[in-house]
């Protein structure tokens, strides 16, 4: 299955990038390597399936080069950054919509809690959904123990106003 990839590389000490179509990560790396001119690959990221509808829906159709026209350029890095910013914005919007649906339809509330890491004393702030304050407190404690040091402490938890 063809996918659209973005590839970044260092060529003669300068960051460059390109878009390419490939069947797999290995295929993408091989195609990119053919055009590196002694450079070094730094990132290889699949963006989406290379189907016309998918590319058009994601605003990526303009970035599909013919397979024999792969070229690394510094200008392409701006295009890559632009694509990533647009995809992040779409993801944030989708997550916001899903959280709204979960809160409204399932009766969940959004909570924010603060953890002080046990070994370092670094303060971490997280948000999540729960049905009530007691459940939120239990989930926060469990999260702190699993993701930080066992000595980590949840120092505050509060409902985020809708």
Q: Give the separation between CA 17 and CA 9, rounded to whole angstroms.
A: 6
57-75 pLDDT, tens digit per residue, is 888 888 887 766 777 778 8
Point out the residues of the chain with pLDDT beneath 70: 67-68, 162
Contact 107, 128 (CB under 8 A): no
Q: Rg (Cα) of the chain, in Å, rounded?
A: 22
Residue-range domain boundaries for the chain = 3-92, 108-159
- Strand spans (E) along 61-122: 109-116
For 65-86, b where at least 16 C-beta lie within 10 A, e where not — what string?
eeeeebebeeebbebbeebeee
């Amino acid at each position: 299955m063809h996918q659209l990839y973005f590839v970044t590389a260092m060529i003669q000490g300068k960051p460059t990038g390109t878009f390419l179509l490939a069947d797999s990560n290995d295929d993408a790396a091989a195609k990119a390597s053919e055009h590196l001119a002694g450079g070094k690959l730094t990132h290889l990221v699949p963006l989406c399936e290379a189907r016309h509808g998918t590319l058009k829906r994601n605003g990526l159709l303009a970035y599909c080069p013919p397979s024999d026209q792969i070229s690394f350029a510094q200008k392409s890095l701006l295009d890559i950054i632009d694509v990533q910013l647009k995809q992040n914005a779409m993801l944030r919007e989708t997550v916001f919509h899903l959280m709204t649906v979960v809160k409204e339809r399932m009766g969940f509330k959004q909570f924010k809690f603060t953890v002080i890491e046990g070994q370092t004393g670094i303060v971490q702030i997280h948000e999540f959904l729960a049905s009530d304050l007691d459940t939120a407190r239990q989930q926060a404690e469990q999260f702190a123990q699993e993701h930080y040091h066992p000595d980590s402490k949840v120092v505050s938890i509060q409902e985020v106003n809708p």
